[in-house]
Amino acid sequence: MIHKARLQQHLDQMYALSTIPAVPGINRVAFTEQDWQGRAYLINCLQELGLTLHYDNFGNVVGRYEGLQPEAPAIMLGSHTDSVPQGGHYDGLAGIVAAIEVVTALKEANIRLQTPIDIALFMCEESSRFGSATLGSQAMRGQLTKERLHQLKDKQGLSLYEVLQQRGFNPEAVPSGSYPKPLKAFLELHIEQGLVLEATNHQIGIVTGIAAPTRYKLQVHGTAGHSGATPMNHRHDGLCAAADIILATERIAKASGPVPVVATIGVIEATPGVMNVIPGEVSLGLDIRSISETAKEEATNAILEAIKEISATRQIPIETNLIANEKPLMIHATMLNAMETVAQSHHYNYMTLPSGAGHDAMNWGDYTEVGMIFIPCAKGISHNPAEAINLDDLMAGTEYLLELVQYLDALT
Peptide bond into 354 cis (omega under 30): no
Q: Are 372 and 359 in contact (CB under 8 A)?
A: yes
Residue 380, pLDDT score: 95
Q: Are 204 and 396 in contact (CB under 8 A)?
A: yes
Amino acid letter, 314: R
Angstrom distance (rounded) from CA 261 to CA 298: 10
Residue 160, pLDDT score: 98
Q: Are 163 and 31 in contact (CB under 8 A)?
A: yes
Residue 131, pLDDT score: 85
Angstrom distance (rounded) from CA 58 to CA 30: 11
Query: 235 CB contacts (<8 Å, ≥6 apart)?
Result: 223, 225, 278
Residue 94, pLDDT score: 98
> What global pTM score does this model have?
0.89
- For the chain (412 residues), the mean pLDDT of every run of 10, in chain order, is 96 96 96 98 98 97 97 97 97 98 98 97 96 94 96 96 98 95 97 97 97 94 97 97 98 94 96 97 96 95 98 98 90 97 98 94 96 97 97 98 98 82
Sheet with 281-290, strands from edge to edge, namely: 262-270, 281-290, 212-221, 318-325
Helices (H), 237-390: 238-254, 293-314, 333-345
Closest CA to 41 of 19, 11, 6: 11
Residue 324, pLDDT score: 85
Residue 107, pLDDT score: 97
